[in-house]
Structure 1
Amino acid sequence: MTAPAAPAAPLVLTKRRIWLIFSALMAGMLLSSLDQTIVSTALPTIVGKLGGVEHQAWVTTAYLLATTLVMPIYGKLGDVLGRRRLFLAAIAIFTVGSIGAAVTTSFWEFITFRAVQGLGGGGLMILSQAIIADIVPAKERGKYMGPLGALFGISAVAGPLLGGFFVDHLTWEWCFYINIPVGIAAFAIAYVTLTLPNKRPEKRIDVAGIVTLSLATTGLVFFTDFGGNDSYGWGSPITWLIFAGMAAAATAFVAIERRAQDPIIPLSLFRSRIFVNATAIGFVLGLGMFAALAFLPTFLQMSSGTSAASSGLLMLPLMGGLMLTSIASGLLITKTGQYRIYPITGTAITAVALIWMTTLTAATPLWVICVMMAIFGAGLGLVMQVIVLIVQNSVPPAQIGTATSTNNYFREVGASLGVAIFGSLFSSNLAGKLQDVFTANGASAAQASAAGASLDPAAMKALPQPVQDGIVNAYADSLAPVFWYLVPFVLIAFVLALFIKQIKLSDVSGMVARGEAITEDPAPAAAAS
Structure 2
Amino acid sequence: MSTKSPLLVDSSAASPGLVATDLIDDLETTSVEESLNSVRHYGSIAIQKSEPSVSPTRLKIILGCLFVNVFLSALDSTIVATLLSIIASDLNALPYLSWIATSYLLACSAFQPLFGKISDIFGRKSITVFCALLFAFGCLFCGITNSFWVFAIGRFITGIGGGGFNTLSTITLSDLIETRQRGLYQGYMNIAFGMGTASGGVIAGIFQNFFGWRSAFLIQFPICILSGALVLLFLELPDGSPGRGVQGSSIWKKLKHMDFIGSILLVASLLFLMYAASSGGRDFPYSSKQFIIPVVLGTTQIIIFYFYELKVASQPVIPVQLLHNRTVLSSSLNCWFISMNVFSILYFVPLYWLVVKDLSSIDSGNRLLPSAVAISLGSVYAGYRIKKTGKYKNALLFYGALTTLGSILVYLLTPSSSALFEYLVLVPSRFGTGAVITVDLIAMISSVLPEEQALVTSIQYGFRSTGSTLGVAIASAIFQGFLLKDMKFNISHLEHIPDKYKSDPDKLQIIIEKALQSTSYIRSGCPEFAREAIISAYSSSTHMVFVFVVVTGLIATLCSYFIEENSLER
Both proteins in one fold, TM over 0.5: yes
Q: Which amino acid aligns with 1:125?
A: N
Q: Which amino acid aligns with 2:308?
A: I
Contact residue 356 and residue 415 of structure 2 kept, 8 A: yes
**What TM-score do the two structures reach when normalised by structure 1?**
0.77
Cα-Cα RMSD: 4.2
The structural deviation recorded for 1:104 is 4.5
| Partner residue, 2:156 | 115
| Partner residue, 1:246 | 298
Residue 435 of structure 2: which of 378, 382, 385 is its match? 382
Contact residue 206 and residue 260 of structure 1 kept, 8 A: yes
Contact residue 340 and residue 500 of structure 1 kept, 8 A: yes
Contact residue 157 and residue 312 of structure 1 kept, 8 A: no
Residue 553 of structure 2: which of 479, 487, 490 is its match? 490
Return closer, same or farther for 1:222/1:107 CA change in 2, 3 Å cut-off. Answer: closer
| Partner residue, 1:515 | none
Aligned counterparts of 1:341 and 1:87: Cα–Cα separation in 2: 41
| Partner residue, 1:4 | none
Return closer, same or farther for 1:128/1:83 CA change in 2, 3 Å cut-off. Answer: same
Does 2:108 align with 1:67? Answer: yes
The structural deviation recorded for 1:84 is 5.7
The structural deviation recorded for 1:163 is 3.0
Number of residue pairs matched by the alignment: 498
Superposed counterparts of 1:282-293, under 5 Å: 282-293=335-346
Aligned counterparts of 1:235 and 1:252: Cα–Cα separation in 2: 25
Aligned counterparts of 2:242 and 2:314: Cα–Cα separation in 1: 24
The structural deviation recorded for 1:471 is 5.0
Return closer, same or farther for 1:224/1:395 CA change in 2, 3 Å cut-off. Answer: farther
Return closer, same or farther for 1:20/1:475 CA change in 2, 3 Å cut-off. Answer: same
Write the deviation string for residues 236-263 of structure 1: whole angstroms up to 9, x where unpaired.
3122212222233334333433033333
Aligned counterparts of 2:476 and 2:222: Cα–Cα separation in 1: 36
Contact residue 138 and residue 389 of structure 1 kept, 8 A: no
Does 2:491 align with 1:451? Answer: no
| Partner residue, 2:138 | 97
Q: Which amino acid aligns with 1:369?
A: E
| Partner residue, 1:519 | none
Contact residue 360 and residue 476 of structure 1 kept, 8 A: no
Q: Which amino acid aligns with 1:10?
A: S
The structural deviation recorded for 1:324 is 2.7
Aligned counterparts of 2:404 and 2:202: Cα–Cα separation in 1: 30
Residue 37 of structure 1: which of 39, 54, 78 is its match? 78
Write the deviation string for residues 347-368 of structure 1: whole angstroms up to 9, x where unpaired.
2211111223333333333322
| Partner residue, 1:197 | 242
Return closer, same or farther for 1:365/1:105 CA change in 2, 3 Å cut-off. Answer: closer
| Partner residue, 1:231 | 283
Comparing 115-124 and 272-281, the one that deviates more: 272-281
Return closer, same or farther for 1:291/1:236 CA change in 2, 3 Å cut-off. Answer: farther
Contact residue 126 and residue 401 of structure 1 kept, 8 A: no
Q: Which amino acid aligns with 2:546?
A: F
| Partner residue, 1:209 | 262
Does 2:432 align with 1:368? Answer: no
Secondary structure of 2:426 counterpart: helix
Aligned counterparts of 1:427 and 1:124: Cα–Cα separation in 2: 33
Name structure 1 gaps, 5 residues minimum.
Answer: 1-6, 507-529
Return closer, same or farther for 1:28/1:329 CA change in 2, 3 Å cut-off. Answer: farther
Contact residue 166 and residue 175 of structure 1 kept, 8 A: yes
The structural deviation recorded for 1:193 is 6.5
Return closer, same or farther for 1:122/1:472 CA change in 2, 3 Å cut-off. Answer: same
Does 2:321 align with 1:281? Answer: no
The structural deviation recorded for 1:120 is 1.0
Aligned counterparts of 2:391 and 2:447: Cα–Cα separation in 1: 14
The structural deviation recorded for 1:329 is 3.6
Superposed counterparts of 1:122-133, under 5 Å: 122-128=163-169
Secondary structure of 2:242 counterpart: coil
Write the deviation string for residues 199-254 of structure 1: whole angstroms up to 9, x where unpaired.
447994433333333332332333323336x1134223122212222233334333
The structural deviation recorded for 1:30 is 0.9
Aligned counterparts of 1:394 and 1:187: Cα–Cα separation in 2: 39
Contact residue 353 and residue 373 of structure 1 kept, 8 A: yes
Return closer, same or farther for 1:314/1:80 CA change in 2, 3 Å cut-off. Answer: same
Identity %: 25
The structural deviation recorded for 1:500 is 4.0
Return closer, same or farther for 1:102/1:203 CA change in 2, 3 Å cut-off. Answer: closer
Superposed counterparts of 1:157-196, under 5 Å: 157-187=198-228, 192=234
The structural deviation recorded for 1:175 is 2.1
Return closer, same or farther for 1:504/1:122 CA change in 2, 3 Å cut-off. Answer: same
Q: Which amino acid aligns with 1:451?
A: I
The structural deviation recorded for 1:47 is 5.4
Secondary structure of 2:417 counterpart: coil
| Partner residue, 2:51 | 11
Contact residue 146 and residue 330 of structure 1 kept, 8 A: no
Q: Which amino acid aligns with 1:266?
A: P
Contact residue 344 and residue 494 of structure 1 kept, 8 A: yes
Aligned counterparts of 1:156 and 1:453: Cα–Cα separation in 2: 34
Return closer, same or farther for 1:494/1:190 CA change in 2, 3 Å cut-off. Answer: farther
Q: Which amino acid aligns with 2:242?
A: P
The structural deviation recorded for 1:328 is 3.7
Secondary structure of 1:232 counterpart: coil
Aligned counterparts of 1:420 and 1:391: Cα–Cα separation in 2: 27
| Partner residue, 2:568 | 504
Aligned counterparts of 1:80 and 1:275: Cα–Cα separation in 2: 29
Aligned counterparts of 2:116 and 2:442: Cα–Cα separation in 1: 15
The structural deviation recorded for 1:495 is 3.2
Return closer, same or farther for 1:474/1:204 CA change in 2, 3 Å cut-off. Answer: closer
Name structure 2 gaps, 5 residues minimum.
Answer: 1-38, 40-47, 247-253
Aligned counterparts of 1:292 and 1:100: Cα–Cα separation in 2: 27
Contact residue 72 and residue 264 of structure 1 kept, 8 A: yes
The structural deviation recorded for 1:311 is 1.8
Secondary structure of 2:568 counterpart: coil
Does 2:489 align with 1:416? Answer: no
The structural deviation recorded for 1:382 is 1.2
Secondary structure of 1:11 counterpart: coil
